[in-house]
Structure 1
Amino acid sequence: MKEDPIKSFRNAFQGFLKEENLEHTYKQKQVIADWEKIMGKTIASRTTKMFFNQKTLFVKLSSAPLKSEMQNSKAQIIELIEKEIGKGEVEDVRFL
C-alpha cells in the first residue's frame, strides 16, 4: 500500500522543524496567522500589532475598553491558544 503523500510531507516538514530547532518559532507564527480563527473577527479587527518575546505574546489593540476586557480574560485566552497549537508555547499574554 502506498504512503499518503500529504502525511509524508507533513512528517518531513515536522522532522525539518525539529532538526533545525524551529518548532517553537513555527508555532508562534501560527498563533499570529490564526489570531482571527482563535479570537474571532471582532477582536482580530481591533488588533493592530502582535509579536512574541520568549514565550510572551504581546498584542496591541486599538480599543481601550477591549484591552481592559482582554486583560481580565488572560487565562481563557491562553487556553484558546493552547487548544490551537498545544500547551507550553505561550506562558503569558500582554495587551498594549
Structure 2
Amino acid sequence: MKPNNPNQRKADVQSVGESLQDLIRVYRLQGRLTQTRVLEAWPELMGRPVALKTTELYFQNRKLFVRISSAPLRHQLFMGRSEILLRVNESAGDSIIDEVVFL
C-alpha cells in the first residue's frame, strides 16, 4: 500500500482563487464587481476636485448616474460626458455603460 502524501493535491480539489471565480460565475457577480471597482476608482479617473464635488454615484440599466454638488462643474462634465464614458469603460476593461447621466 502506498503512503498518502499530504502535499499532494487530490484531483477534485481546487484553489481558493478558482473556487471564488466559480462562485462569481455561478452567481453572475462579475458585473457587480466591475461596477464596484469603477466606483472605487472614481477619484483616480476624474481627479480629486471632481471626486470631492461628487455626492452620489451609481449604476442602473447600463447608465452611470453622477450627482455633482456644483452646477458649473456639472455643466462642464456634461459637455465632456463622452470622454467620461470612454474612461469608465476603459477602466472596467469592458463596455459596462452606454450613457453618463448628471443629476
Q: What TM-score do you get using the length of structure 1 for normalisation?
A: 0.82
Query: Does residue 1:76 correspond to 2:83, yes or no?
Result: yes
Q: Distance in 2 between matches of 1:61 and 1:26?
A: 24
The sequence identity of aligned pairs, in percent, is 28
**Structure having the higher Rg:** 2
4+ runs of 1 displaced by more than 6 Å?
none
Q: What TM-score do you get using the length of structure 2 for normalisation?
A: 0.77
- Counterpart of 2:40 in structure 1 is 33
Query: Does residue 1:17 correspond to 2:24, yes or no?
Result: yes
State the superposition RMSD in angstroms: 1.5
What's the secondary structure of 1:24's corresponding residue?
helix
- Unaligned stretches of 5+ residues in structure 1: 1-7
Write the letter of the residue equivalent to 2:28.
Answer: N
Looking at secondary structure, tell me which structure has more helix per residue. Answer: 1
Q: Encode CA deviations 1:6-41: one digit per residue, 9 max, x unaligned.
A: xx6555433322221011111111111111011111
- Counterpart of 1:42 in structure 2 is 49
Q: Distance in 1 between matches of 2:61 and 2:94?
A: 15
Q: What is the number of equivalent residue pairs in this alignment?
A: 89
- Unaligned stretches of 5+ residues in structure 2: 1-14
What's the secondary structure of 1:94's corresponding residue?
strand
